[in-house]
Structures are given as C-alpha cells and as structure tokens.
C-alpha cells in the first residue's frame, strides 16, 4: 500500500527521495511528504500526487544528506495535508513515516492524552510516534532503545523509518508485516518498500525480517531483533534492470506489461521445462513432491487476480494429479478458524509476496503443521521466506496496478507444478504428459500472435466503452478467466462487470440482458464448447451484445456473435494463459478510451499490505 523511501549518505537526499517516491507511485496513494535534516528537521507534505508536493517545494530549503519520504494510502483519517506523512512528534524532535496499521493505537492515545499530549492528525502513526517520543524523554534513552520498547507494546503491522533532529546521519527502521529493503552503496544506504527506488544506485540489498530493527548510517548497517540481539544481514544481489521499471516507449505500464507476456512466460518456463527430454525441474517442489502427492488435500490461498489463478490451478491439479483442491480467499481463510491437518499442503499465491491476509493465513497454517508452498513474483519477499518451498514466476517488476503478466506467470508455474506432481504420482500417461509439455512451450509464440490483434481489440473497446454494465461468462478452465476479465474491466474502466460460470447465467444474471448489455464469452474450443454455444444463443435471443473469444477454425460462433476475437488453438488446460490476454487488452483500451489513468486506478493499491 503506502510507499516508503529513505536515504543517508554524502549526496543530497531530497532528489533521491523524491525520485524514489515517483518510482513507488504504482503502489497507490493519496498524499505524499518528505522529512529532511539540515541543521534543523524540516517536514513537507501535501495531499495529492508526488508532483503536487514537488511543486509546493519549489524555492524551499530542501538541502540535507539524510531524508525520508512517504506516499500514503489512507487508513486512519481521510486523505488531507494534516494526515499525510511524515509526522512530527509533539516535541518537534522526531519525524516518522509508517506503512501498516497499529491496532491498539486507541488505548495508547488515551494514555498519551492523559499525559498532556495533543494530536494534529487522525492517524495511528502520530500515536506511535508520540509514544516513542514519550518513552525516550521519560527514560532518557536513545531513539533506538525507545523504538524497541515501543514496538514491544504495539499490536499490528508496521514498517517505520524514524529520524531525530540531533542525529543527521541515522535512520532507525523496523518492520513487521510490511516490507522493507535496504540498499547498500559505498558510504551510503537507501531504504524503500521495494527495490524499484534502489536499483538505480545499487544492486546489493538486505531484506529486513519481521521484528527486526535496522540502525542505518552512511557507512554502517546494524540489524537487531526486539531483544536487542544483533542479527547478521544477508546481502542479496538484485536480478533487475532499471529498464524493467520504465515504460520503454509504451503509453502505459499496463500496456507494456501485457506486451511483455510472451517473454515473461518464456522466462518462467526457461530452465525448468525441457521438452526434448520430457523433464520438468523445480527443485523446491521436487523436494516435497512425495508429501504433496500423499497429502489429503491441497488448499490454495490468495487474493484478487492471484485467487483467479488459484481457481484455474484447482481444475488443473485435480484433473492431472487427482488430489482434492480447495481455493480460499486469504482474507476469509485467516478468520474462519479453518481445519488444518498436519501434512496438508497450502499453496500461497501472491504477486508481491507481501499480501497481508495471505501472510497471516500461511503463518497460522504453518503453526498447525501444514506444508507451505509459495508462488510469488518478488524475490526476497515475505511469503517466499516464510514458505517451505515454492517457485518464482520470473515475471519481472509489475508496475501497473492491475495485474497482467504476473497472472500468466502464475498460471505457467502452476501448470508445471501440476505436471511434475502428476508424473511423480503416476496419474498421467507419458503421451499426455509430453503433449502438455509441448503445449506449454508453444504458449509464448501463440501469445505473440494474439498481441497482433491489438488494433482489432481496440476497435471493439471503442464500440462498448459507454456501457454501464458487462457480463463475462465461461465454463470449465475458462470460468476463472471470465472472473479475471470482469475484474480487469472493473479495475481499469470503472464499468460494473461480473464474471459467472456460463451455466449459472440462467440462475439470475440473465435478468440483466437487454440490447445495451455487452456479454463477453470466453468460448475457446474445449469439452464445454457445445454448451457455451447454447448459452450464446440464449443471450442473442434476448438481444444481448455478444463478444466472443474463440479458437481459430470455429465456424459456429462467428455466425452468432456481434464481435469475435480469434485465438490460436491450444489444449484446454493451458488455454487460460492465452484467452486472458484479449480480455486484458479489452479492459486497457476501454479505460484509455474513457480517459482514465489505467496504471493507477482510483482507490486501488498494487500491494495490499494492510487489512
């Protein structure tokens, strides 16, 4: 959600922090601010975009070699200047930025009010800051010690950066449940919510763990736990280029990321899928293969687009591996007091690897003896580190808020996992196994062919951009694709859209059908095709407008639909990686036609790191 940036070193901090905040805009936010130390502690913050903050600072004194910056997605308190971060302590000596939610802030605030503290904002962050300030003044201790004492009393999630006006070199940072990465330079350090603000300066980073405090100076990085015991920083080399977080000539990151999919799917398969020898190599999954195939069930937990990938995986794993699969919303799973048996397998899917609900859910499942497999995109993320094993999607940074290439990367990984397990268990014959391996290998080239339909899809988008509602329908493997298509249209164009299994249309949604309603059918050739044709006829009988995603060679649906998008043929198990691409493009072009910022849809954040 919120974005955090910090710098300490010989350079001017403000340009680095400001550029870092711009790199983090994709995470979603409604205000921005910076704190700088140069003889005195200065805080500047403003509701709106980073550009609005930058404009207000023209002519201001922004010198200093240490600084922290923040983009805020409102939780406690409405989006306005006074609730924006950084916050200043009542003493004026300490500034802090915070990502997360302090759940027991109300009681702490009452205690502080009784001591005479006043508050200038409605945020839980200012409460934590003044709590730290109170501890420091009452105990006459260091800022580091005051932070440690405060955090042992705190309930909730946090990533904080704290600076003191009398220490113009040191940033105190800590995290629990919200990500923090520290970049290591020569005589300087960079701090951020993710690596995107850092890669311009260094590729050596340390991912801070939960319940760790970092004391960061230009030439020193000290990690400690809340018990004041020193921890050894583990330095990781970033496998990321600066060009990966730039638009590269595209109008929007979303469009760039849609068009990157032939390469990102290939990168996901590369080194793992050896078609010539009929072999899939995924060391983390293979290490636990025996336990997985003998598990009583597999539970997939995820949110949003990742949940849709999990639904596809349910179909694939049950079909190929004959293991029962349940797919759960992480936000419901964590509170439902679910029955977890020792040896159950939990697959956690998350693009960022930091999704708060998913993290808490797998922590609880792990405590009860479950085997945790993580499917994530972000290297070094919390879910990756908490899992027993898993696989990265290798999709590269995804800057557009609406997930595209991460979804197809997740499907590629999950298909390989299913094939590997099926071969290990013996529930797939060799010919079928080899055929599906070949089908997977062919996906990047077929995706490239679909992207050549961009102009055609744009014309369809122009035709339906003024619709108020839309239905997305599919059956079998394409039902989750219909859900994903509806979600994309909602996210990007703000058109109300719903995804349903096509057969469920008659159980309610058909009441919406009239001559103004576009109905998108994901109708590629599969074992449900004839049934879908019947569903299309039912829509046309009620004058609905049908947009059909079909397979080349289909001679029936073109005679029924108002518009068709023709895809290369593919086995129904791998087809969702292809059938979703035109839905991504359709949503993109509708959003652009309506004049919206498709990279930063209103009210949305890229990574949901708070409840």
Write out the catalytic residue numbers.
2, 606
Q: By the 8 A CB rule, do 18 and 34 touch?
A: yes
Rg (CA), the chain: 25
In sequence order, what are the beta bridge partners of 470?
497
Nearest to 507 by CA among 515, 516, 498: 498
SS3 content of the chain, % helix, strand, coil (to 5): 40, 25, 35
Provide the H-helix boundaries in 192-303. Answer: 253-259, 261-269, 283-287, 289-293
- One DSSP character per residue, 366-402 reads HHTT-EEEEEESSTT-HHHHHSSEEEE-------SSS
Instruction: Report the C-alpha gap between 6 and 165 in whole angstroms.
Output: 15
In a 10 Å sphere around its CB, with 0-12 CB exposed, 13-18 middle and 19+ buried, how is residue 303 labelled?
A: buried
Query: Longest Cα pair distance anywhere in the chain, in angstroms?
Result: 81
Number of other CB atoms surrounding residue 406 within 10 Å = 27
Structure tokens at 365: 């499942």
H helix or E strand, kind and range, residue 550? strand 545-551
H helix or E strand, kind and range, residue 535? helix 529-540
DSSP state of 320: H
Question: Could you tell me which residues come within 8 angstroms of residue 504 by beta carbon, excluding any fewer than 6 positions away?
Answer: none
The CB-side HSE value for 528 (13 A sphere, CA atoms) comes to: 20
DSSP state of 116: T
Residue 172 CA to its chain's centroid (Å): 26
């Amino acid at each position: 959600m919120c974005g955090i940036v910090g710098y300490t070193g010989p350079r001017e901090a403000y340009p680095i922090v400001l550029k870092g905040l711009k790199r983090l805009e994709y995470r979603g936010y409604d205000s921005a601010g910076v704190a700088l130390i140069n003889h005195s502690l200065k805080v500047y913050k403003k509701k709106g975009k980073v550009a609005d903050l930058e404009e207000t600072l023209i002519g201001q004194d922004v010198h200093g070699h240490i600084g922290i910056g923040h983009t805020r997605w409102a939780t406690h308190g409405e989006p306005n200047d006074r609730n924006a971060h950084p916050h200043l302590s009542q003493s004026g000596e300490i500034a802090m930025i915070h990502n997360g939610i302090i759940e027991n802030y109300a009681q702490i605030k009452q205690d502080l009010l009784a001591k005479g503290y006043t508050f200038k904002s409605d945020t839980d962050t200012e409460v934590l800051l003044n709590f730290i300030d109170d501890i420091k003044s009452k105990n006459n201790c260091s800022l580091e010690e005051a932070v440690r004492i405060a955090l042992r009393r705190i309930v909730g999630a946090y990533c904080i950066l704290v600076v003191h006006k009398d220490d113009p070199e040191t940033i105190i940072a800590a995290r629990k449940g919200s990500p923090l990465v520290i970049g290591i330079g020569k005589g300087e350090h960079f701090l951020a919510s993710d690596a995107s603000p850092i890669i311009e300066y260094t590729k050596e980073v340390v991912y801070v763990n939960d319940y760790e405090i970092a004391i960061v100076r230009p030439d020193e990085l000290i990690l400690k736990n809340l018990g004041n015991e020193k921890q050894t920083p583990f330095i990781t080399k970033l496998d990321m280029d600066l060009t990966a977080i730039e638009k590269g000539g595209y109008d929007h990151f979303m469009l760039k990321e849609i068009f990157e999919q032939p390469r990102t799917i290939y990168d996901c398969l590369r080194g793992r899928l050896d078609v010539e020898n009929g072999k899939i190599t995924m060391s983390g999954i293979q290490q636990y293969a025996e336990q997985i195939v003998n598990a009583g069930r597999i539970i997939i937990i995820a949110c949003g687009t990742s949940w849709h990938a999990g639904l596809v995986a349910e179909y694939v794993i049950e079909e190929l591996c004959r293991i029962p699969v349940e797919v759960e919303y992480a936000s419901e799973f964590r509170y439902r007091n679910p029955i977890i048996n020792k040896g159950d397998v939990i697959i956690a899917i998350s693009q960022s690897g930091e999704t708060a609900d998913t993290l808490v859910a797998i922590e609880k499942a792990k405590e009860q003896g479950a085997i945790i497999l993580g499917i994530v995109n972000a290297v070094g993320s919390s879910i990756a580190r908490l899992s027993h094993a898993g696989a990265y999607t290798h999709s590269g940074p995804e800057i557009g808020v609406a997930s595209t290439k991460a979804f197809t990367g997740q499907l590629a990984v999950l298909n390989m996992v299913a094939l590997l397990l099926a071969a290990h268990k013996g529930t797939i014959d060799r010919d079928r196994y080899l055929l599906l391996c070949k089908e997977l290998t062919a996906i990047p080239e077929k995706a490239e062919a679909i992207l050549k339909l961009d102009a055609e899809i744009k014309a369809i988008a122009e035709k339906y951009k003024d619709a108020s509602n839309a239905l997305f329908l599919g059956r079998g493997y394409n039902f989750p694709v219909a859900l994903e298509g509806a979600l994309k249209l909602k996210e990007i164009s703000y058109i109300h859209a719903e995804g349903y299994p096509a057969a469920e249309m008659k159980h309610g949604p058909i009441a919406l059908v009239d001559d103004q309603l576009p109905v998108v059918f994901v109708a590629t050739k599969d074992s449900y095709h004839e049934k879908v044709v019947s569903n299309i006829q039912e829509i046309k009988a009620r004058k609905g407008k049908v947009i059909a995603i079909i397979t080349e060679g289909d001679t029936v649906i073109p005679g029924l639909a108002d518009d068709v998008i023709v895809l290369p043929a593919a086995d129904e198990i791998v087809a969702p990686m292809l059938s979703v691409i035109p839905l991504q493009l359709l949503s993109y072009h509708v959003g652009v036609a309506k004049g919206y910022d498709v990279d930063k849809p209103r009210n949305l954040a890229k990574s949901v790191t708070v409840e």
